[in-house]
Structure 1
Amino acid sequence: SSLISDRRAAIRGDILTVVIEIDDRAEISNSSGRTRTSRENVSIPQMVGIPQRLADKLPEGASFDELADASASSSYRGNGNISRRDKLTLRVAATVVDTLPNGSLQIEGTQEVRVNFELRELTVSGFVRPADIGRSNEIAYDRIAGARISYGGRGQITDVQQPRYGQQIADIILPY
């Protein structure tokens, strides 16, 4: 209303603009390996004379001298790499929902955009120091304490990008 008044958000109900500019990159590499070998041999040549008495009833060449012989070996090697890059530039209006005793402002903002059959949702909340609000009544996302920023959507495109339920179950059940 006035040319010299301060237009920055300061009290409950005031609106300010949150500027979200994220340019993030992460790369992670990991490898692991394991090898194990075991051998077991079980025999009962002298068990209270029972094997000797039953030896006559066994087919030719069979005996209790080596009842079981087992060996096992396993080997595993795994490698994994993750490389991702996120770039996001958004602006959302947020409302001051509370003023804390120290003067900090609690803000919350939500934006929904529907394009054809796809709904995009942006939610931001956190705490802002009034001194961090710029002259144009904007604040950068990295100046919001306890920032909770959520950006996602739902609709036909999101559904198509998800693996089918059968594939998700197979990914959980199958060991390879």
Structure 2
Amino acid sequence: MLACALALTATPAKAQILGIGKKKVREDFSVTLPAAVPAAAPANGAIFQAGDGYAALYEGQRARRVGDPLTIVLVERTSASKSAGSKLDSSGSASLTPPTTGALSLFKQSDASASGARNFTGTGSADQANALSGEISVTVAAVYPNGTMLVQGQKRVTLNRGDEFLQIKGIVRPADIDANNRVASTRVADARIAYTGKGDVARASRQGWLSRFFQMISPF
């Protein structure tokens, strides 16, 4: 009820802080087509005529313009591990020997004692390893003033029982592109790589909605 009231009374600024009404922006991995070829300028009689297809000798056939394709070689391999442990021990005791004579002789001759102790031991560890290899061809989506290029692309493979999607986007330096117009994925800055799938196999590997609901409300 309180969440509903906040949603109704929140201003646009407050709604942005609370995360209300946010739309999930879909990442764009679509192919970028090259710009239209301008009409050729009339020949001026010189031997050298610089046209749209001109490339310097040292550039070869490397991607350098919007719409040019190049190949990303996926060589992703990451691993991480983490462990933590804690231990707590504490104890205390007290003893009292009551008097056996006089007005305070309330107990028999015996010792009264009290003691307490507590302890806690906790350990935790996590290990994760990922590897992704292969190749994917992308296109140049933008060329920046410093020469770096924004590249993006995706590959869709339709298998017998579903589809597999491989998507990548990031910044590439022309100097990292080899003579075969290929660049390693470890040389892609701000890389966003996604490998997903849909179909019978992907659905079978996911937990059902009812199981997720009971797991969410379970206190254990």
TM-score (norm 1): 0.68
Cα displacement string for residues 152-171 of structure 1 (whole angstroms, at most 9, x for unaligned residues):
11111111111121221122
Distance apart, 1:81 and its partner CA: 2.6
Which has the bigger relative contact order, CA under 8 A and spacing at least 6?
Answer: 1
Is residue 216 of structure 2 the alignment partner of residue 172 of structure 1? yes
Q: Letter of the aligned partner of 1:21 in structure 2?
A: V
2:152 aligned to 101, 108, 114, which one? 108
1:118 aligned to 148, 156, 162, which one? 162
- What's 2:197 paired with? 153
- What's 2:79 paired with? 25
- Where does structure 1 lack aligned partners over 5 or more consecutive residues? 36-74
- What's 2:143 paired with? 99
Partner Cα separation in structure 2 for residue 103 and residue 140 of structure 1: 18
Distance apart, 1:172 and its partner CA: 1.0
Report the 3-state secondary structure (helix = DSSP H, G, I; strand = E; otherwise coil) of the residue aligned with 1:8: coil
Distance apart, 1:121 and its partner CA: 0.7
TM-score (norm 2): 0.56
Distance apart, 1:77 and its partner CA: 6.0
Report the 3-state secondary structure (helix = DSSP H, G, I; strand = E; otherwise coil) of the residue aligned with 1:158: helix
Report matched runs for 1:23-172 at 5 Å.
Answer: 23-31=77-85, 78-172=122-216
Cα displacement string for residues 8-63 of structure 1 (whole angstroms, at most 9, x for unaligned residues):
1011111000011122222222346789xxxxxxxxxxxxxxxxxxxxxxxxxxxx
Distance apart, 1:79 and its partner CA: 3.9
* Percentage identity across paired residues of the two chains: 30
Aligned residues: 138
Q: Letter of the aligned partner of 1:16 in structure 2?
A: L
- More deviation, 9-18/19-28: 19-28
Q: CA RMSD for the aligned pairs? A: 2.6
1:7 aligned to 61, 75, 78, which one? 61
CA contact (8 A) 2:67 2:139 kept: yes
